């Protein structure tokens, strides 16, 4: 029952965001940029009894993925602006996202920096 509740509440949030985006694309983009999935995930983990340490590590993982996500969205934006079909744009965006994560990881290892201790 708990899983169904999570799915229903999450689907309602996504539905609201897409309706706002349909009527007001710019405002919909701003609302979609809110870390709704991340916050919902933290809330669900909390209610499932996860400790603060786990929630903290999850938040750090989200932060680690943020620059790559910005690259993904930038690629999709540029390609769509140049009339490239949606799913091709998304495919290139995901490719850029993966590439950026590898580059980011390589740079952090090269500089001997670690966020995940």
Per-residue pLDDT at 113 exceeds 80: no
Alpha helices in the chain (DSSP H): 2-23, 25-33, 36-47, 52-81, 86-110
Q: Write down the pTM of the prediction.
A: 0.74
The CA distance from 73 to 94, in Å, is 9
The CA distance from 44 to 6, in Å, is 7
Per-residue pLDDT at 104 exceeds 60: yes
pLDDT at residue number 9: 87
Mean pLDDT of the chain: 89
């Amino acid at each position: 029952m708990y899983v169904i509740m999570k799915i229903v509440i999450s689907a309602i949030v996504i539905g609201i965001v897409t309706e706002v985006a349909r009527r007001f694309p710019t405002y919909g983009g701003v609302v979609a940029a809110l870390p709704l999935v991340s916050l919902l995930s933290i809330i669900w983990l909390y209610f499932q009894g996860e400790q603060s340490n786990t929630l903290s590590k999850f938040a750090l993982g989200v932060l680690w993925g943020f620059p790559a996500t910005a690259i993904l969205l930038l690629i999709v934006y540029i390609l769509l602006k140049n009339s490239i079909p949606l799913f091709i744009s998304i495919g290139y965006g995901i490719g850029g996202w993966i590439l950026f994560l590898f580059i980011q990881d390589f740079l952090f290892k090269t500089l001997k920096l670690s966020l995940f201790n």
